[in-house]
Copies of this chain bind each other. A is one copy, B any other.
Amino acid sequence: MHGFSSSERVRIPLDDRSYDIAIGTGLLDDPAAYEAARPGSQALIVTNTTVGPLYAERLASVLARRHAKVLRIELPDGEQYKTWESLNLIFDALLGGGADRKTTLYALGGGVVGDMTGFAAACYMRGVPFVQVPTTLLAQVDSSVGGKTAINHPLGKNMIGAFHQPLAVVCDLDVLKTLPPRELSAGLAEVIKYGPIADMAFLDWIEANIDALRACEPAALAHAVKRSCQIKADVVGQDEREAGLRAILNFGHTFGHAIEAGMGYGAWLHGEAVGAGMVMAAELSRGLGLVDAAFVQRLTRLIQRAGLPTRGAVIDTHDNAGRYLQLMRVDKKAEGGEIRFVVIDGPGRAAVRAAPDALVRQVIDRCCA
């Protein structure tokens, strides 16, 4: 099937860790998409029980031209499996298959598969290369790019992980056709995110094209993935290890992670939690006097049109705001117990700020179901 692909590339500029995101159609079966991987070495495809039956055979076929041996493992599907136990299944497969230090891992799936495969690659024999082959919109526009890998801990999301950049990211837009509408909407949350933090013209474009995106129109998806990756590449290129700027990509995530952990991982999709979390973060920004009510309304309306929840979950019926605060205090941006929020500091510009507990409580009370 190769030879019929069509793609554009976005470069992540990170010195000797630089790599390309290929975005286009027909890429899954295109040998050229995998040329960054060392030829001759072994490969392990990590996927899940949903994506594996759809695409693993095709990926294995194209990789068999490049690698001496192609192993496969299917993990259970869902955020609730982003754990040590699943990670150990990857290590068992690697050691059981005789995988050496030059083995290349391939993450074929969404954000959970990508995060776990990347973390396994970071740790196996203290580091082996890996390639991201994201099959969800969320993974194509956000999680597969930038080298953040992690698993969850019961007390906090993505608490255990590593920065480990892939050799390449292969975004085949064709695979999005099999994505359930709920997953597509979840991915749109991370697309929308880039507008208020960095590019209001992109937000205009998303508003004008939200229906086309939800209908999976190829040209609309191609632009959304490409522009999202460009913005992410720009941010990550300036601040790979989140010394500062990179934190803005977590807009909506501080509240969102509290929803995910508070409801139990997997109850809400990550993108759904980020959708409601962005509304809460926008509301907090308004409370801090940084944006006006019209801005919050505009963003809320778009999140709703994307098919996402715009109200946070009630995660504790006795003291909902207190439970949010408790969970947010272990956020990675927190320092000395002080939560630091990504806020919108005027349309198109994000900042990281502390906020008074009383105001945060008000926002939570106002924004939860």
Residues of A within 8 A of B (CB): 41-42, 68, 84, 88, 91-92, 95-96, 98, 100-102, 122-127, 148, 150, 153, 155-156, 159-163, 241, 329-330, 332-337
- Some 13 contacts from A to B, beta carbons below 8 A apart, are A84-B88, A91-B153, A91-B159, A92-B155, A98-B337, A100-B332, A102-B335, A124-B159, A126-B163, A127-B162, A127-B163, A127-B241, A162-B162
Which of the residues B91, B101, B155, B160 comes within 8 Å of A123, measured between beta carbons? B160
Contact assessment for B126 and A148 in the assembled complex, using a CB-CB cutoff below 8 Å: yes
Please give the count of copies of this chain that the complex contains: 2
Min CB distance, A335 to chain B, in Å? Answer: 5
* A69 to chain B: closest residue by CB: B336
A315 CB to closest chain B CB (Å) equals 18
Q: Which residues of B contact A162 (CB under 8 A)?
A: 122-123, 126-127, 162
* Contact across chains for A332 and B127 when beta carbons are under 8 A apart: no
Chain B residues with CB under 8 Å of A148's CB are 126
Other contacts beyond A96-B155, A124-B160, A125-B159: 18, CB < 8 A: A42-B336, A91-B153, A92-B155, A95-B159, A95-B330, A100-B334, A100-B335, A100-B336, A101-B332, A101-B335, A102-B335, A125-B161, A126-B150, A126-B161, A126-B162, A126-B332, A127-B162, A127-B163
Expressed in whole angstroms, the Cα–Cα distance for A332 and B155 within the complex equals: 33
Q: How far is the CA of A241 from the CA of B101 in the complex (A)?
A: 12
Please give me the 9 A-B residue pairs with the lowest Cβ-Cβ distance, nearest first: A95-B155, A125-B332, A126-B161, A123-B160, A100-B335, A100-B334, A84-B84, A101-B332, A126-B163
Minimum CB–CB distance for A145 against chain B, Å: 16
Q: How far is the CA of A150 from the CA of B124 in the complex (A)?
A: 10
Chain B residues whose C-beta falls within 8 Å of the C-beta of A88 in the assembled complex:
84
The answer for the CA separation of A156 and B97 in the assembled complex, in Å, is 13
- Complex Cα gap A91–B154 (Å): 10
Partner of A98, one of B41, B122, B329, B333: B329
From the candidates B95, B102, B150, name the one contacting A156 in the complex (CB within 8 A).
B95
Residues of chain B contacted by A42 (CB below 8 angstroms): 336
Residues of B within 8 Å of A101, CB to CB, are 332-333, 335
- Chain B min CB distance to A127 (Å): 7
A330 touches B126 (CB 8 A): no
Among residues of B, the one whose C-beta sits closest to the C-beta of A125 is B332
Chain B residues near A241 (CB-CB < 8 A): 126-127
Do B95 and A161 touch across chains, with their CB atoms under 8 A apart? no
Bound together, the chains give a CA A156 to CA B91 distance in angstroms of 11
Most chain B CB within 10 A, of A91, A329, A334, is at A91
